[in-house]
Amino acid sequence: MATSAMAGQQMEMMGSRGEARGRGESLTERNRSLFESQKRARRGPTPEVFFAKHIDNSRLVKADDPERRREMRSFASVMGLLFVLVMVYVWQHFAAIEVGYQVEAQKIQVQQMQEQNRQLRLNEAQLTDPGRIDRMAKQLGLDAPQPGQVVRPDGGDVNAPVVAQVGLPGVILQ
């Protein structure tokens, strides 16, 4: 309700302005009518006073304060040190995360290699099975070797007697 009353007063002020200009009133009469309309629109006992104050600070020079400069230097150095410490902490944190990822990747690689090693050992066991080799030899038409037919790569005879050697217990001879 109060807002509608104020809106009505403002509209009345706007209309009085237009009429005042239209009639050619002087500046003082127009100001007086505006002041009266504002006085009626006021709610409290204190009048609203507005001052137009033009200040030119372009010629002012700030005085040098060595104590303030020292405080700002110490503050800046402390903040710089704090920033460096935080950055070192963040760097270490991210480096630790990266190393964790590398460790996990290497664990997976080790598991894959162990599985591959197991597959290769199984494959080797299948390929070196004497029964399989014997079957393949018979399929190719090969017979068992006759005595004196096998030649060792070190030049020794297969049928030559072998001399047994005894070593001390716990001592490994190479």
Determine the pLDDT at residue 50: 74
Determine the pLDDT at residue 9: 53
* Burial group, residue 41, by CB count within 10 angstroms (0-12, 13-18, 19+): middle
pLDDT, one tens digit for every residue, the chain (174 residues): 445 545 555 555 555 555 545 445 688 888 888 888 877 776 666 666 777 888 888 888 888 899 999 999 999 999 999 999 999 999 999 999 999 999 999 999 999 999 999 999 999 999 989 889 889 988 998 888 787 777 777 766 656 666 666 666 655 555
DSSP 28-81: HHHHHHHHHHHHHH--SSSPP---------TT--PPP-HHHHHHHHHHHHHHHH
* H-run or E-run covering 117: helix 66-127
Determine if the pTM surpasses 0.75.
no
